[in-house]
Structure 1
Amino acid sequence: MYHSRMKNSLFAIVASLFALSLMVYPKAAFESSLTGLKMWWEIVFPSLLPFFIISELLICFGVVRFVGVMMEPIMRPLFKVPGSGGFVWAMGISSGFPAGAKLTARLRQEKEISRIEAERLVSFTNCSNPLFILGAVAVGFFDNAELGVLLAAAHYIGNIFVGFLMRFYGSDDVRPKRHYSPGPDKRLSLALDRMYQVRKRDPRPFGQQLGDAVRHSIQTLLMIGGFILLFSVLNRMLTEFHITMFMASIMSTFMALIGFAQALIPPFLSGMFEITLGSKLISETSGSALLEQAVLVSFVLAFNGFSVQAQVASILAETDIRFKPFLLARIMHGFIAAILTILLWEPLYVKQTSQGKVVETFASHPSISWIYDAWHSLLTVGAMITFISLIIFILIHLKSIKHYKIM
């Protein structure tokens, strides 16, 4: 009881101080809020919405169950999660955070996985997508396409390491032994049968399924947008009250020990709260080596930032999945990705650029130029996609309210 009261009092004090800071620095709060809104409006919403809708439909049609049966021989020995985790992993990488957390929560709600399996799964499926790493960070912030290959390799290889390490988390006896492994000749037949069973249990017509998928996806993205705005303002308030500089002074000794430039500390702390802003500030820091910047950006991308972690915590709160294992995995991923950046610096960046193997510009590279085009197209049409989607969401929501009143 005493611990609960102290915790509640602490939250009340922090919330009150935050509200006071908004009144003391209203202009700074407004500007930072607009910055967060612009990022959500132009980038986050249009880039995540299609993946969220498609993933909801794939779950309804039983495709996730189909993939689960087919991927069982790979996912369970490597990561001790069901084969359906392969679908979550693929969608998490392609669409970025917090898609992995959202899909893991959905599988848990559908009783497809146990709580321990869900906690293992969410630990390595919530990662940054290639479009953000290669397009936004490498090209947009650093203006260095070759650096994107290094950052992506460190991020995803580190992600696999985390998944493998988390296979040792928890006890296996919490899940009943209800699955079996059929032979290769029967696996496809079993997968198709499981997919049909899922579709048969859902009586909703396709139109209703599509409407529900759009509505649920936009509701999740609205929640994500709120967190982005909140942490954008919070990060700015910490700077205005010189709390960031105080924290930087504490970290200065550690940064000096590892030989990193002191000027990188404030942008790194910003990245601990919000990865996009932090990555941009790190790339703009003068007087620091590119390797130092790459290492810190790798850590920030893997750690996800408190903004993304708050989004994940909110999503997981709808289930019985605990947040602490996810936080532990983010810390592990941060250090592993940073170490891999150092180890891969010579073979993936220095040697390749010195030998002229990746000196092409990002736009002219035949294999990855689509990422550059996709990123700039997103910046161009992202706001329009968001606006149209919100109009559709309002219409669907009004229709559902009207239908409920009639019922």
Structure 2
Amino acid sequence: MNLLKTSVFNCLFVCSLIFFLFFLLLFPKESFNAALNGLVLWFRMIIPALLPFAIISGIFIRFHIADYFSFLFKPIIGTIFDLSNEGSFCVLAGFLFGYPMGAKIANDLVVDRQLSKNEGEYLFLFCNQASPVFILNCVAINCFKNENLFLPIFIILLSTSITIGIVLRKFFYKSLKWDSKEKVLKSLNDNTSPFEILDSCVMNGVDTILKLGAYIILFSIIVKMVEIILKDFYYLKTLIIGFLEMTNGISYISSLNTSFQIHFLFVLFCVSFGGISCIFQTASMVKNSHFSMIKYLIVKIMTAFISILYGILYLKFIY
């Protein structure tokens, strides 16, 4: 049975690659422009927004600064989720830095032996979210043309993540503590100078951003493919693009001729789910820690629907 599933998956994967190749050959101009748009998006938004955080978070982890930095926030975050200091830092950074930094930091903390794999996977499942900067600029201002919507959208998405974190902690990750025989922290003076560590953090951050750029360009072409194939099916096209890639999905939603309420809920779904593109980006960040991407996909779907529920409550009783 497993062999059959593998064969079917391999067949579908090869067919998809062949179809993608034919699209590149049949629509070279459109493919080039889509790749160029993805490159510009990566260069103008992703690099300045994420590269500094990728480097700084790496420095915090390698020099064990996260333990001290999160001390101020541990009473709040630790009380809600019952985490270590390092875990509290991961939650804080994941909520503030944006996709896929939450997943990367959880992975790096596990690889650096500052978190158990169990606690790292738990954090990875719920603290990998859109950043406040993205919500303000791309959602509130660009999509809704109303920056006053930033706060309710941010609170809804934050409340959704907290809800998921509490549910996972109570029912699925009841024990996160290290076995005392298992925890072995790396020594900072094991023949590695601070300059070598700093250089390693910079190169790791650059490698992270390059991976994100490649996925952004790839999915920009896939989105263009969907646009061309489904050009006469606007609503279906918008739904698929929103499922594939968050930023393009939000842009399409803003042009739909539907009510504000539908726009609002659709955007919440896109941002909380993140899109298949973000899932692939996240997978590339956690391959060293071997976190379960099946669990992650299930949790992201749950997150999307809970955010819609909170959105409905907001529209009904507050908006």
1:269 to 237, 240, 246: 240
Q: Does the aligned pair in 1 maintain the 2:226–2:241 contact within 8 Å?
A: no
The number of equivalent residue pairs is 315
Q: Hey, what's the Cα distance between the residues in 1 that align with 2:266 and 2:178?
A: 42
The counterpart of 1:211, out of the listed 199, 206, 218, is 199
The one-letter code matched in structure 1 to 2:151 is V
Whose radius of gyration is greater, 1 or 2? 1
Shift of residue 22 of structure 1?
Answer: 1.3
Q: Are the counterparts in 1 of residues 87 and 119 from structure 2 also a CA contact under 8 Å?
A: no
- Find the counterpart in structure 1 of residue 308 from structure 2: 338
Instruction: Report if aligned partners of 1:235, 1:273 keep a CA contact under 8 Å in 2.
Output: yes
Counterpart code for 1:82: S
Show the counterpart of 2:24: 22
Q: Decide whether the 8 Å contact of 2:35 with 2:220 is kept in 1.
A: yes
TM-score by length of 2: 0.89
Structure 2 Cα separation of the partners of residues 209 and 176 of structure 1: 26
Amino acid at match of 1:233: I
Give the aligned partner of residue 312 of structure 1.
282
Matched-pair contact (CA < 8 Å) for 2:231–2:237: no
Relative contact order (C-alpha < 8 Å, sep 6+): which is higher? 1
* Match of residue 231 from structure 1: 219
Q: For 2:285, give the aligned amino acid.
A: I
Cα distance in 2 between the residues matched to 1:282 and 1:165: 31
Question: Cα 1:73–1:131, aligned 2, differ >3 Å: closer, same or farther?
Answer: closer
Residues 235-274 of structure 1: pairs in structure 2 closer than 5 A: 235-242=223-230, 245=233, 264-274=235-245
Identify if the C-alpha distance between structure 1 residues 68 and 198 changes in structure 2 by more than 3 Å, giving closer, same or farther: farther
Q: Say which SS state the counterpart of residue 256 (structure 2) adopts.
A: coil
- 2-structure distance, mates of 1:243, 1:140: 23
1:32/1:232 contact within 8 Å kept = yes
TM-score (normalizing by structure 1): 0.71
Deviation at 1:68, TM superposition (A): 6.4
- State the alpha-carbon separation in 1 of the partners of residues 212 and 295 from structure 2: 21
The one-letter amino acid of 1:160's match is I
In 2 relative to 1, CA 244–38 (structure 1 residues): closer, same or farther, beyond 3 Å?
Answer: farther
Moved more, 224-233 or 81-90: 81-90
RMSD of aligned Cα (Å): 2.6
Measure, in 1, the Cα distance between the counterparts of 2:174 and 2:156.
Answer: 30
Residue matched to 2:254: 283
1:3-402 to 2 correspondence within 5 Å?
A: 3-67=5-69, 75=77, 78-79=80-81, 81-168=83-170, 170=172, 172=174, 176-178=178-180, 200-201=188-189, 203-242=191-230, 245=233, 264-286=235-257, 288-346=258-316, 348=318, 350=319
Which consecutive unaligned segments of at least 5 residues does structure 1 have? 180-196, 246-262, 351-407
The one-letter code of the counterpart of 2:215 is: F
Letter in 2 for 1:37: L
Inter-partner Cα distance in structure 2 for 1:160 and 1:171: 14
Q: Following TM superposition, by how much is the alpha carbon of 1:74 offset from its aligned partner in structure 2, in angstroms? A: 5.3
| 1:160-199 residue CA offsets vs partner (Å, 9 max, x unmatched) | 11111111454656865439xxxxxxxxxxxxxxxxx866
Contact 1:81 1:121 in 2 (8 A): no
The amino acid that maps onto 1:336 is I
SS in structure 2 of the partner of residue 104 of structure 1: helix
Take 1:198 and 1:68, find their aligned partners in 2: how far apart are those partners? 19
Judged with a 3 Å threshold, the aligned counterparts in structure 2 of structure 1 residues 2 and 161 are, in CA distance, closer, same or farther, namely same
**1:166, 1:15 → 2: CA distance?**
36
Residue type of the alignment partner of 2:251: K
Q: Secondary structure of 2:192's match?
A: coil
Give the drift of 1:299: 0.7
Question: Does the aligned pair in 1 maintain the 2:119–2:176 contact within 8 Å?
Answer: no
Flag structure 2 segments of 5+ consecutive residues without an equivalent: none
Find the aligned partners of 1:243 and 1:108 in 2 and give their Cα distance: 45
Higher mean C-alpha displacement, 299-308 vs 76-85: 76-85
Change (3 A) 1:170 1:347: closer
Deviation, 1:345, is 2.5
User: What is the CA-CA distance between 1:149 and the residue it aligns to?
Assistant: 1.9
Question: What SS does the aligned partner of 2:163 have?
Answer: helix
Identity of aligned residues (%): 27
Q: Distance in 2 between matches of 1:274 and 1:215?
A: 27
